[in-house]
């Protein structure tokens, strides 16, 4: 019996190695790995994969919320002079919600510190450009975190950062890979939506 099982396993390995058998399964990246990868990789993932990554980010953010950010967290912010994990984002939150969220905030996207925000529209961002999506996400996150700065908030593109978004010293850094995850949660992802 043992020889029979060993022979069967050897045959399957040989057939798979020769290209016979099932197609190779491509593993989807985890949320943290996706954030540190180029955003273009996520742009071309299917919407359900991006939605699952967004939900993973949301789950992690809720478990990290309020903790001291001594280890890497997905949403680090300064609060009372300390770096902590921001309040969590719920998995059903549409971060590209109405543009009036946080409308009183003054945002700057001039790219003095980080990379420039692309202005070309992307289907994977619900037809928005990265810059437009970043503005909606910035306003929604800052409103959700109850951050009301008195001055202009610099919004920088932080491609490859190990976090989704970070607010430190009046500067909001958003990982563009996170924008592609967040866009999968919008109206187009709802049941019954026309695709």
User: What is the C-alpha to C-alpha distance for residues 47 and 154, in angstroms, rounded to an integer?
Assistant: 30
Look at 178 and 4; give whichever has higher pLDDT.
178
Q: What pLDDT sits at residue 111? A: 64
User: What is the C-alpha to C-alpha distance for residues 95 and 110, in angstroms, rounded to an integer?
Assistant: 22
User: What is the C-alpha to C-alpha distance for residues 50 and 42, in angstroms, rounded to an integer?
Assistant: 7
Residues 12/4, Cβ–Cβ less than 8 Å = no
Confidence category of residue 192, pLDDT binned at 50, 70, 90: very low
Taking the complete model, does pTM exceed 0.85, yes or no? no
Sign of CA pseudo-dihedral 47, 49, 54, 58 = positive
Lowest mean pLDDT among 22-36, 68-82, 122-136, 172-186: 22-36
Q: 63 is written with which tokens?
A: 């478990």
Residues 21/13, Cβ–Cβ less than 8 Å = no
Question: What SS3 class is residue 171?
Answer: strand
């Amino acid at each position: 019996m043992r020889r029979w099982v060993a022979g069967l396993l050897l045959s399957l390995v040989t057939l798979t190695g020769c290209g016979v058998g099932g197609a190779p399964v491509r593993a989807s990246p985890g949320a943290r790995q996706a954030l540190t990868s180029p955003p273009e990789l996520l742009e071309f993932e299917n919407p359900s994969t991006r939605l699952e990554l967004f939900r993973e980010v949301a789950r992690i953010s809720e478990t990290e919320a309020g903790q001291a950010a001594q280890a890497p967290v997905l949403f680090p912010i300064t609060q009372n002079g300390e770096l902590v994990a921001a309040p969590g984002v719920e998995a059903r939150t549409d971060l590209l919600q109405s543009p009036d969220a946080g409308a009183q905030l003054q945002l700057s996207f001039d790219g003095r510190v980080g990379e420039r925000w692309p202005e070309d529209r992307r289907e994977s961002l619900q037809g928005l450009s990265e810059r437009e999506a970043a503005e909606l996400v910035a306003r929604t996150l800052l409103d959700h975190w109850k951050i009301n700065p008195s001055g202009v908030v610099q919004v920088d593109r932080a491609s490859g950062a190990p976090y989704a978004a970070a607010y430190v010293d009046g500067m909001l850094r958003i990982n563009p890979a996170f924008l592609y995850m967040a866009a999968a949660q919008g109206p187009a992802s709802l049941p019954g939506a026309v695709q």
